[in-house]
Structure formats: C-alpha cells, structure tokens
Structure 1
Amino acid sequence: MERTGRRAAVLAALAAAVMLAAPAVASAAPPASAIDVSDTSLHAGDTFTVTEQLYNPTDFTVTGAKAAVYTKETPIVDLVDLVSCTGSIAPCGPYFSSYRGGVGDLGPGESGSVTFTFKVKDDATGGQFTLQHQFAGDNYAFGVEDGPAVTITAAPKADVKVALTATPRIGVFARVDYVVTASNTGPASATGVRVTVNPGANRSVISTTGCTKTGATLSCTIGTLAPGASATAKFTSEGGILAWGAFTATAQRAASTPADPNTANDTAAKKCTAYTGLYVTC
C-alpha cells in the first residue's frame, strides 16, 4: 500500500510538471480587414451602415491606411451614395469603384475602424450584391475579401406613355379636335398622372374635357392608371377665319408616381396646316 501511494504521488507530480511545461495556445490574430453591416435587406432610398475593422499583422508600418468597401457584381458607387463617415481621416469618399475612408498610419499590431453610412440610390438596380472589403495603404495593400451579401429591392416603376391625335373640322376658324391619351405600360400602377398641352402658336382653345386652361397651356388630370390601362382628355382649338400655315400641338407627361423609367415616350406632337379658315389638314 505504501509503495502504491508513493507511485501515485510521483505520477501526479509528473503530470503537473508536464502541464506547467506545455506552451499556452496563442489566440489567432484578427484578420487584416473585416466588416459588419447594419442591414442586409434593403430597398431603394434606405440608409444603412458598414463598419470596417482594420488590423496590421505585418512587422512594418502601413502608411495612409484606408478602409475600402466594394460590391462584387457591379460598382458600389452605382448602387449607393455615401452619406457620412465616422472614425475616418479626410478625405472620405468614392475612389474609382470603391468608397474609402482613411485612418492614418498603422504600425505593427495596430488597428483602426471606419463606419460608412450609405443611402441606396432611388434608381438602384435590384438584386443581390456581395459586399467586399480591403485594407489598403500607400505603401502596402492587402487582398480584397468577400463580405456578406445584401439584397436590394428596386423602387417600383410605371412607364406612362402619351399619345395625341388630331381631327380637323370642316368649316370656319381652322378648328381642330384633339384627343390626349395617357397609357400605363407598367409594371406598377401609376398615380397622380398629369399631362400638359401646348395647342400651338396662334391657337385658341375653345373647349376642353378633363383639362383646365392656364394661360396658353392646358393641364389635363388623368389620375390613376393600373398597368395596361389608359385614359383620355380632349380639347378643341381654332386659329381664326384668316388662319393659315402650319402649327404643332404638343402633349407632355408632367407628373406621375412612381418613377417613369422611359422618358422617350412621354411626349407626343401633332402637326397640322391651315389653308385659311376653311380647310385644315393634320
């Protein structure tokens, strides 16, 4: 029994010595660059923050250290606007396809951080985009690393198209009846649709339906148009019994919500020619 006890004591002492002699496991050094995003599900017009942590793992000083943020699929400068930076040394702003904020020189083992506040552009393309980050300096730059993906939901759009038709009347005063048509090709519903009309030089508007006259122009309220729907407004103009020559009436989309993605079809025009007050062609 005594021999057994001494043996156990010796083994315990050896185990303790081994434990004391074993080197401690060093904790891993932080990465050269890491980012944290306040929100990864975004809509056009939303504001969010990206905080980038920088750490210098080298044995030399990185001069002019900067936090850089990119998106992988398309330039980040096309998706978001920079609102502000905190923890940054000026300048802080766009740099080619990235946004950058400086933290000054970072010696070996030193760290710094920059918090970018971004606003998603109102016309940003929707989709999923991978945020990327980089520790860049004047004398050394680390590799670009992938960060989390953010999803941007684009603002709804409604393409309002304007058309104008003209029908001459036989008789005096070179009179012409016009129909203004506004149609919504989508994809979203359009609200607050309004069209302005200029009847042309030396023309007097004598009647309207769905339009009000302000000076020499008309304002035609269309209202709400569902995708695929259309609505009309009408007016009649005349030039007088001695009217002659060419004149052009124009109609222009003046307002609609949400944004109209195609301005090329927002305007329509119709040219007519009066041969005295008795005869008009359009």
Structure 2
Amino acid sequence: MERTGRRTAVVAALTAAALFAAPAVASAAPVPSTIDVSDTSVHAGDTFTVTEQLSNPTDFTVTGAKAAVYTKEKPIVDLLDLVSCTGAVACAPYLSSFRGGVGDLDAGESRTVTFTFRVKDDTAGGKFTLQHQFAGDNYAFGVEDGPVLTINPEEKADVKVALTATPRVGLVARVDYVITVSNTGPATATGVRVTANPGTGRTIVSTTGCTRSGATLNCAIATLAPGASATAKFSSEGGLFAWGPFTATAQRTASTPADPTAANDTASKKCSAYTGLYVQC
C-alpha cells in the first residue's frame, strides 16, 4: 500500500506539471520584403516615397541583394520618375522595375531602401497596384502585392481675362475700365491675381477691387468656381492736353491649379485721345 501511494503521488505531480507548463511558441520567420508608402493618392507632378525593407530569412548569404518596386497593371517606369533613393549603393530603372542595390545580405540580416518618386507630368489617371520583391544574384524571393496607388487626373482651371474701356466726356480724357476674370474650369481656381496698367502717360484716378503700386494695379480675385466670374474696375486720365494713342492691359499673374491656356490670360484695349475733350476706344 505504501509503494502504491508513492506511485500515485508521482503520477499526480507529473500530470500537474504538464498542465501548467507554458506552451512552446514557434518564432515567425521574417518576411523577405515589406513596403511603406508615404502617399497612395497623388497627382501628376507630385512626389512621394516608397520605403522597402529587405530581410534574409534563409540560412545562406544572398549576393547582390536588391530592393525592387513594380506596378502590376503597367510598367512603373512609364508612370514614375526616380528622383533619389537612400539606403542603397545605387538605384536605377531595370526593365519594368526600379531597383536599389544593397550588396550581399547575410542570413538573418536586414536592409532598408527609400525610393523618392515623381509622377510623370503626362501620366493618365488610374489605380495601380504597387509590388515589391527581394531580388538577388543567386536567389530571388517572390513578387508581393503592396497598396494600390491612385493617380488622380491633373487638375486644371482655365482663367480668362477680358478688358472693356468706356471713354467719358470731360476735360481730362478720362476712360473707365472693367476687368472681367472668369474661370472656364474644369477645376476651381484659387489664389487668382491680375495686374493692370493704364498705359503710357495715363494717371490712375480710381479703383475698385485693386490696389495701386505706382502705375500698376494689383487685383486679388481670390477664388472662382467653374463657370464663375468676377470684376475689378479702374479709371485713368490723361489731362487737358492729352494727345495720341495709349493701351491699357490686364494680365493673370497667379492662380492654382495649372492654367492650361496662356492665350486668354492677357487682355488689352487701345484708345486715342484728341485733347482732353475727346477720346476714342
């Protein structure tokens, strides 16, 4: 009975130890390649970064290790220009990818390469799946899908400037001008500014919506929605003995986004004075 009791106690102790023992956790192997993208919604001309981390999960050295970046739907080299890269010995386009070489990568080692890209000016809008790969001279891991990069169509706002002139009866060859600024779209125009000049020998005597700086007028139109327009006004005089032609001008000097049509950014109006009593425009 004593021997049986001892055997029972030993079995119970071993069973308790097994029940409370911590389970073994297998350590996960490092992923060969991961990427982080600074901005996944961009426009033509924008810059953004793609940071790729390489980790060697094998038990051998990968020679000539490279971080490679692709897009699935179209060659990435047709969409983006490489501005710079850090963390690599050299970066360059290679067939349908951009690659950054980091040299040999021993078992268990990691490297990080950050690519800075600029969206080509003529890139059409669309959605493109970024892909990445750890490639080497003696071994290459599979190509993995990353986030979707959305390239938005380039925003444009065509700002048009017009100028009208109305002579006034009097003794000083006065002319009243109206600057009309309109946005034919397709996007909203912000930060719209126009400068105007009354022409040689003329004196600005009144303004509406503009400020004077010497013989130049600066007119802040601010924001124009597609299809909207705004006006600014000024008047000039030539004096009692005014004589000869003069040309007033108005020109768009700033607006955002890009203005696609430069031809309609400037307007002018030519008038002629025949003393201060008579002006013809």
Shorter-chain TM-score bucket reads: 0.5 to 0.7
Given that 1:160 and 1:260 are in contact with CA atoms closer than 8 Å, whether structure 2 keeps it comes out as: no
What's the CA shift for 1:183?
Answer: 1.3
Q: 1:177 to 1:73 in 2, by over 3 A?
A: farther
What's the CA shift for 1:208?
Answer: 1.2
Match of residue 200 from structure 2: 201
Deviations 1:91-150 (A, max 9, x none): 44668986442223579x99875422436659775421243557788x9998x9684442
Match of residue 25 from structure 1: none
**Inter-partner Cα distance in structure 2 for 1:265 and 1:228:** 18
SS of the aligned residue for 2:102 comes to strand
**Inter-partner Cα distance in structure 1 for 2:251 and 2:206:** 19
Letter matched to residue 260 of structure 1:
A
SS of the aligned residue for 2:220 comes to strand
Q: 1:191 to 1:245 in 2, by over 3 A?
A: same
Match of residue 274 from structure 1: 272
Out of 173-182 and 77-86, give the one that drifted further. Answer: 77-86
**Inter-partner Cα distance in structure 2 for 1:268 and 1:141:** 61
- Alignment of structure 1 residues 1-282 onto 2, 5 Å: 36-38=35-37, 41-44=40-43, 47-51=48-52, 53=54, 66-71=66-71, 73=74, 76=77, 79=80, 82=83, 84-86=85-87, 88-89=88-89, 91-92=90-91, 99-104=98-103, 113-118=111-116, 126-131=125-130, 147-148=145-146, 149-153=148-152, 157-256=156-255, 258-265=256-263, 267-277=265-275, 278-282=277-281
**Inter-partner Cα distance in structure 1 for 2:163 and 2:119:** 34
Q: Percent identity?
A: 50
SS of the aligned residue for 1:269 comes to strand
Q: 1:110 to 1:260 in 2, by over 3 A?
A: same
What's the CA shift for 1:231?
Answer: 0.9
CA RMSD of aligned residues (A): 4.5
Letter matched to residue 233 of structure 1:
A
Letter matched to residue 182 of structure 2:
S
Deviations 1:163-183 (A, max 9, x none): 222233355444322111111
**Inter-partner Cα distance in structure 2 for 1:43 and 1:97:** 21
What's the CA shift for 1:69?
Answer: 3.1
What's the CA shift for 1:198?
Answer: 1.9
**Inter-partner Cα distance in structure 2 for 1:195 and 1:244:** 28
Given that 2:79 and 2:120 are in contact with CA atoms closer than 8 Å, whether structure 1 keeps it comes out as: no
TM-score, normalised relative to structure 1: 0.63
**Inter-partner Cα distance in structure 2 for 1:174 and 1:141:** 85
Q: 1:78 to 1:252 in 2, by over 3 A?
A: farther
**Inter-partner Cα distance in structure 1 for 2:68 and 2:150:** 20
**Inter-partner Cα distance in structure 1 for 2:95 and 2:247:** 47
**Inter-partner Cα distance in structure 1 for 2:163 and 2:267:** 6
Given that 1:126 and 1:154 are in contact with CA atoms closer than 8 Å, whether structure 2 keeps it comes out as: yes
Deviations 1:221-273 (A, max 9, x none): 223322211110111123334434443322222333x4133251562221414
What's the CA shift for 1:76?
Answer: 4.7
Q: 1:188 to 1:245 in 2, by over 3 A?
A: same
**Inter-partner Cα distance in structure 1 for 2:75 and 2:250:** 38
Given that 2:159 and 2:183 are in contact with CA atoms closer than 8 Å, whether structure 1 keeps it comes out as: yes
| Structure 1, unaligned runs of 5 or more | 1-29
Q: 1:78 to 1:167 in 2, by over 3 A?
A: farther
Q: 1:247 to 1:147 in 2, by over 3 A?
A: farther
Given that 1:42 and 1:151 are in contact with CA atoms closer than 8 Å, whether structure 2 keeps it comes out as: yes
Deviations 1:178-202 (A, max 9, x none): 1111112233333333221122222
Alignment: residue pair count? 246
**Inter-partner Cα distance in structure 1 for 2:96 and 2:174:** 58
**Inter-partner Cα distance in structure 2 for 1:174 and 1:49:** 64
